[in-house]
């Protein structure tokens, strides 16, 4: 499978793991179940059950482990999407890839929290950058406003 499809499967896995427990979850859950049902002839009930286990795993994770669980679940769903794409002929793969792109785009639009463009890093929590044992560490930030900036006055336009 080419790198573009692997990247797409990764993005779709991340979308599933990120949407669980949000307002976007029910719609994404149904789309994923239909996608597997049509593409692989899989019983949608089995896929919905697996998706529900995904949401339950995240819901049951305590705050310190939530991100670790989300990463594990995203990787698991990536593998499922890769398997789905590999099992299709070229035409089916192209069709499902288009549906996955739409699903990922929709999930990104509905995702709460920070986002970053290409080459960026978005963090929805604290960032701790450390250098240990003679190593170097750095963070680069562009224009950043902390706190509440004052409203523009007459001189500012």
Q: For 59-103, how does the pLDDT look when each residue is reduced to its tens digit (9 = 90+)?
A: 998 888 989 999 999 999 999 999 999 999 999 999 999 999 999
What whole-number distance in Å separates Cα of residue 63 and Cα of residue 59?
10
| 149 CB-near residues (< 8 Å, 6+ apart) | none
Do residues 48 and 36 make contact, with C-beta atoms less than 8 angstroms apart? Answer: no
pLDDT at 102: 94
pLDDT at 17: 93
Give residue-wise pLDDT tens across range 111-152. 665 656 555 666 666 667 777 887 777 666 666 655 666 666
- Taking the model in full, what pTM does it have? 0.69
């Amino acid at each position: 499978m080419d790198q573009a499809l692997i990247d797409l499967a990764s993005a779709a896995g991340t979308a599933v793991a990120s949407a669980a427990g949000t307002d976007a979850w029910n719609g994404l859950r149904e789309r994923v179940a239909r996608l597997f049902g049509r593409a692989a002839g899989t019983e949608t009930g089995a896929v919905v059950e697996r998706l529900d286990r995904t949401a339950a795993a995240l819901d049951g994770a305590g705050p310190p482990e939530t991100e670790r669980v989300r990463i594990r679940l995203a990787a698991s769903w990536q593998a499922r999407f890769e398997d789905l794409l590999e099992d299709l002929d070229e035409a089916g793969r192209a069709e499902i890839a288009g549906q996955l792109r739409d699903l990922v785009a929709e999930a990104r639009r509905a995702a709460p929290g920070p986002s970053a463009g290409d080459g960026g890093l978005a963090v929805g929590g604290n960032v701790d950058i450390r250098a240990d044992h003679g190593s170097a560490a750095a963070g680069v930030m562009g224009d950043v406003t902390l706190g509440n900036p004052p409203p523009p006055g007459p001189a500012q336009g």
